[in-house]
Amino acid sequence: KMKLGLVCLVVVATLCPHQVSPAITINDSTVQKLCLYGSGLQQKLPAALKKCPNAMKVAKLWPKGKCPPFKAFLKYLNKQVSAASCLPKALGWMDANGNILEEMVMADVAGLNPEMTSALSADKINICINNKMKQYIKKLNRCRKRYKTAQKNALINRMKGILASQCLINAMATSCEGFIKGIVQYLIDMFSNGGP
């Protein structure tokens, strides 16, 4: 049964267009279905994506201008937070304050490959947020005469809320793609060496 499933995966992979090897591509919908099969997200994610059609759109964290006025900057970020948090909130992965609910994430991804589950851990998401925040902290520090400490902290908190959503979505997409590439490469190698 397992061998038949793996052979079917190779057939699906060869018929569809997400490059998993130089000769094989799979479309996003097929990758998503393969990654989510058997998990709590199998039904939940497609429904959430319908509610949040722009979920994969990357938000810009810095509006036009070197050091924009605080109120305009905050208004801009609030709009970005609303759009960026749509998918995690629709999945029940984020509370109203923008905090990631790791226990809800882990419950939904429990049926996924362990590599994918570990990519969605709070520690890895926080590392992603902190790495991406470095450039914005530098920019905000250059504007220290323009923003008071409390204002700077408010901007940082909004930016981190946006990045939390982006890092969560990116981690899921990247780990899913890596998982599928690994399976397909394993199958290619196996059949190249004379089959199972």
Overall size of the chain counted in residues: 196
Question: Residue 179's pLDDT band (boundaries 50, 70, 90)?
Answer: low
Question: Residue 8's pLDDT band (boundaries 50, 70, 90)?
Answer: very low
Task: Kindly tell me if the per-residue pLDDT of 183 is higher than 70.
Answer: no
Q: What is the pLDDT of residue 46?
A: 81
Poorest-pLDDT segment among 101-105, 114-118, 123-127, 183-187? 183-187
- ∠ CA 148-149-152, nearest 5°, is 85
Q: What is the pLDDT of residue 16?
A: 38
Task: Kindly tell me if the per-residue pLDDT of 127 is higher than 90.
Answer: yes
Q: Which residue has the higher pLDDT, 8 or 68?
A: 68
Q: Once rounded to an integer, what is the mean pLDDT over residues 51-78?
A: 87
Question: Residue 164's pLDDT band (boundaries 50, 70, 90)?
Answer: confident
- For residue 53, CA distances in Å to 2, 48, 57, 184 come to 34, 9, 9, 29
Q: Structure pTM?
A: 0.70
Q: Which residue has the higher pLDDT, 110 or 137?
A: 137
Report the percent of the chain where pLDDT is more than 90. Answer: 21
Poorest-pLDDT segment among 106-110, 140-144, 160-164? 106-110
Find the radius of gyration of the CA atoms of the chain: 20
Which neighbouring-strand residues pair with 16?
25
Q: Which residue has the higher pLDDT, 195 or 117?
A: 117
Q: Once rounded to an integer, what is the mean pLDDT over residues 41-54?
A: 82
Q: What is the pLDDT of residues 16-45, one digit of tens each?
A: 344 444 545 555 566 666 677 767 777 788
Q: What is the pLDDT of residue 117?
A: 73
- ∠ CA 104-107-112, nearest 5°, is 130
**Helix axis angle, 149-192 to 122-142, nearest 10°:** 140
Question: Residue 12's pLDDT band (boundaries 50, 70, 90)?
Answer: very low
Task: Kindly tell me if the per-residue pLDDT of 153 is higher than 90.
Answer: yes
